[in-house]
Amino acid sequence: MSHTWVIDSNCFIHLGSYAADRFLKDIKAMTHASKHTFYVTPGVHGEVRTVRFQRWKKKPLLLDALEDILTTVPIDDAQIRGLAQLIGEKASPQDVDLSLMVLASKLTREGKTVVLVTDDFKMTTTSEKANLGYTTCPPSTFMQRLAELSSVKSKSAFNSLSRRIRAAEMRYAISRVNEYDIQAKLTWMVDSLISSPKAQPAPAKKAETSPVEDVLSTALRRTLNGEQIKAKHMKSLGALPEICAPMSGLDQHLANLSTTTYSNDVEGAYRMTMLAYSEALEAVGLGLAPLGEKDAELANTAIAGFVQRTETALGLMSKMLGERVAARLHLSRALQAATLIDDEFAEMHGMHQLGLLATSSDDWARAASLFETADRQAQSTGSNRLRYLVLSGVTRHLNQDFEVAKHHITTAHEYVIEDKSAAALSLKAIGTSLLSIDQPGLALELLDEGMECALESGNEAEIESLAELMVMAHAAMTKIDALHHEGLRDLLDGLNAMAAETEQAFTEKIEAIDELASLQNKPLEETWNDWQSSERLIPSGESMRVVRSEIDEHGHTLIIVHHGELGALGLWLPEGRLPVSPGHVLSLGATRVKVAQPTVELQDAHSIRGLVAIEDPTALDFIVPTDEMTGED
């Protein structure tokens, strides 16, 4: 069983006064295999910034020593004010206690069993009044519970620390006897000592279904997946397998979309998927209509996996079509479906996709919140956290939450140094994702870090792949993009500590990339005023990748594509063409092309080297990788 602790400032103050040197080793052991996670809000950092471990050698700052085990989650001011209004308090945007209560409640809604560690009795009574779902305990009981849950070697140290903190809590409570009635608080403290950490209530969503319903739900999902189930379960399910069967066809539909590597009709695929989805939902709805509520709940839980996968695919296709509102709706529905089946992997993936969508709109606060939630899901599932930590750090930095951003990157650093080869692949994936949502400035910064890791791991194939992506990111950059990542370089320097022997090779590689990017930023010296075979521009079997799409004041669409040798080229889409987004791949059939120098205005605005004219616009084709349409990772 995993344990989630939200810790207030007073607990850290007690630790600073009484914790011995071995405390860090003991509490780090508690985080092994994600059995214990420790959360705070940025306000806690502010309140204990100067607190030191008084009993340690050199008396280090508490936050510096504990930063590897603490997860810091920012809370929006609106949520703090909302809770204050609910409980009838006046709250400033910096009310740390309320931010911790909001965080504890949020984690509880995510299905975690949460304990808020505080010696403020008012936070306990308020939680009960507002029905926030978490439990509380004072810092002394927190240490006692860690002792009960720890190894034999750590028990004595935690118990000793618990007794020291409890004495301090009692002294403080007695000192306030003339200011308020301390009996209720003392009773709460004693009760918390009696309660076992294993006796905490399970998350509410786990208690909503009976064991029998859980068994039948699993049986129904299995039969929909084509597995054999026990005859008694089949009898109990009655007509539900037949009613829900149409949903099984959705997985086959998505599989058919992926039978080829690329698709040249995203809108057509979207329409076909919507039609198949609508027909399946309609058939299930008609079948469930005469049945009771319990059967309907059982069926909707069982088909949630099909709904999640289909809504994810629809969301990704909507994003490719430039329909961000529709994409957000589909991806949000996918996330909601994932919660019905308690699929943390699907929830993590959904949060990540929604975070990218928010990033594409420069909605940094929302993006950071989504990536941070994905990171918490990654912790719960034991997944690699690097991708989510890095994106959380970047978006927090862009939202001016600099301390939280630094914390995320410091944590990500541990994953990078653990496996440089895997880190290079993850950073490349992040950069590619950012390029696909038209954030080349951010992509370039992450690809730079990926290049460091690839060079250190000696992966030549990844080095060349990253170099090509970096040149592409340079080609996609505009003057506005350059402003997005101001100051980000200093933050990301903490992501990887490059070995001295690699620095020279890295410098030479970056200089070569910059030189090529600079060369490809100048107008072409040689242009083709006469029609030439399209194969002269794009040899047979090769293609160009779309890096940006712009619509001018007349409603005409200019596509910026990246050519491996020539750099950035532009072409005007014929009227009536479907929307084209970054990440699409341009291919040309048997036609002829001209290449002209761009106007000064176009070259300055988009850094394109030439404008391409196509004799037969029907030969123009844009394709996308099908795994990006269906959500395969």
Over residues 113-123, the pLDDT tens digits come to: 899 999 887 77
Q: Which residue has the higher pLDDT, 31 or 195?
A: 31
Type of residue numbered 627: D
DSSP code, position 209 = S
Q: What is the mean pLDDT of the chain?
A: 83
Q: What is the pLDDT of residue 280?
A: 93
- CA distance linking residue 306 with residue 294, whole number of Å: 20
Q: What is the pLDDT of residue 65?
A: 92
* Residue 453 in domain: no
- CA distance linking residue 476 with residue 151, whole number of Å: 54
- CA distance linking residue 387 with residue 433, whole number of Å: 11
Q: At what angle do helices 402-418 and 420-436 cross, to 10 degrees?
A: 130
Least confident of 90-104, 485-499, 555-569: 90-104
Relative to beta strand 592-596, strand 528-533 is antiparallel
Q: Please compute the mean of the pLDDT values over residues 140-145 and round it to a whole number.
A: 89
Q: How sure is the predictor about 472, in pLDDT bands with cuts at 50, 70 and 90?
A: confident
Same domain, residue pair 156 and 242: no
Same domain, residue pair 9 and 156: yes
Contact, 303 vs 247, CB < 8 A? yes
Same domain, residue pair 60 and 22: yes
Q: What is the pLDDT of residue 423?
A: 94
Q: Is the pLDDT of residue 436 over 90?
A: no
Same domain, residue pair 158 and 55: yes
Q: Please compute the mean of the pLDDT values over residues 467-486 and round it to a whole number.
A: 77
Q: Is the pLDDT of residue 167 over 50?
A: yes
* Residue 75 in domain: yes
Greatest mean pLDDT among 181-185, 559-563, 619-623 lies in: 559-563
* Residue 443 in domain: no
Domain C-terminal end among 300, 321, 342: 342
In which order are the strands placed within the sheet that holds 567-572? 262-263, 620-625, 585-588, 544-551, 557-563, 567-572, 610-614, 592-596, 528-533
Nearest to 330 by CA among 300, 349, 352, 307: 307
Q: Please compute the mean of the pLDDT values over residues 204-216 and round it to a whole number.
A: 57
Q: Please compute the mean of the pLDDT values over residues 244-265 and round it to a whole number.
A: 82
- Reduced to 3 states (helix: H, G, I; strand: E, B; else coil), residue 533 is strand
Give per-residue pLDDT as tens, 380-412: 777 889 999 999 999 999 998 888 898 899 989
- CA distance linking residue 192 with residue 190, whole number of Å: 5
Query: Domain count of the chain?
Result: 3
Q: Is the pLDDT of residue 483 over 70?
A: no
Contact, 600 vs 343, CB < 8 A? no
Same domain, residue pair 228 and 200: no
Contact, 574 vs 535, CB < 8 A? no
- CA distance linking residue 276 with residue 236, whole number of Å: 29
Cα three-residue angle 346-348-352, rounded to 5 degrees? 115
Q: Please compute the mean of the pLDDT values over residues 432-453 and round it to a whole number.
A: 91
Type of residue numbered 364: W
- CA distance linking residue 316 with residue 433, whole number of Å: 12
Least confident of 316-320, 403-407, 470-474, 571-575: 571-575
- CA distance linking residue 35 with residue 435, whole number of Å: 36
Q: What is the pLDDT of residue 35?
A: 73
Least confident of 172-181, 405-414, 438-447, 574-583: 172-181
Same domain, residue pair 11 and 147: yes
Q: Percentage of the chain surpassing pLDDT 90? A: 24
- CA distance linking residue 301 with residue 210, whole number of Å: 14
| Structure-token pair, residue 502 | 């690699």
Task: Work out whether the CA dihedral 334, 335, 337, 338 comes out positive or negative.
Answer: positive
- CA distance linking residue 310 with residue 315, whole number of Å: 9
Same domain, residue pair 65 and 196: yes
Count of positions (residues) in the chain = 633
Same domain, residue pair 289 and 224: yes
* Residue 434 in domain: no
- CA distance linking residue 234 with residue 236, whole number of Å: 5
Contact, 462 vs 508, CB < 8 A? no
* Residue 432 in domain: no
Q: What is the pLDDT of residue 17?
A: 93
Whether this prediction's pTM lies above 0.75 is answered by: no
Least confident of 33-42, 322-331, 507-516: 33-42
* DSSP line for 30-70: HTGGGSEEEEE-HHHHHHSTT-B-TTSTT--BHHHHHTTTE
Cα three-residue angle 626-377-139, rounded to 5 degrees? 170
Boundaries of domain holding 39: 3-205
Q: What is the pLDDT of residue 184?
A: 64
CA atoms within 13 A on the CB side of 497: 6
Q: Which residue has the higher pLDDT, 342 or 222?
A: 222
Same domain, residue pair 143 and 267: no
- CA distance linking residue 369 with residue 352, whole number of Å: 10
Contact, 80 vs 104, CB < 8 A? no
Contact, 111 vs 134, CB < 8 A? no
**Residue 129 contacts by C-beta under 8 Å, 6 or more apart in sequence?**
87
- CATH classification at residue 124: 3.40.50.1010
* Residue 382 in domain: no
Q: What is the pLDDT of residue 185?
A: 62
Type of residue numbered 533: S
Instruction: Tell the residue number behind the tokens 């990772």, with chain if given.
Output: 633
* Residue 419 in domain: no
* Residue 354 in domain: no
Main-chain phi, psi angles of 168, to 5 degrees:
-65, -40
Q: What is the pLDDT of residue 206?
A: 43
Q: What is the pLDDT of residue 92?
A: 47
- CA distance linking residue 316 with residue 481, whole number of Å: 24
Same domain, residue pair 190 and 321: no
- CA distance linking residue 134 with residue 128, whole number of Å: 9
Burial class (CB in 10 A: 0-12, 13-18, 19+), 280: buried
Main-chain phi, psi angles of 614, to 5 degrees:
-115, 125
DSSP code, position 19 = -
Domain C-terminal end among 312, 342, 372: 342
Give per-residue pLDDT as tens, 67-113: 888 888 888 777 888 787 777 766 544 588 889 998 998 888 877 88
- CA distance linking residue 301 with residue 263, whole number of Å: 32
Domain C-terminal end among 342, 377, 408: 342
Least confident of 120-129, 204-213, 328-337, 467-476: 204-213
Same domain, residue pair 217 and 200: no
Q: Is the pLDDT of residue 54 over 50?
A: yes
Same domain, residue pair 144 and 160: yes
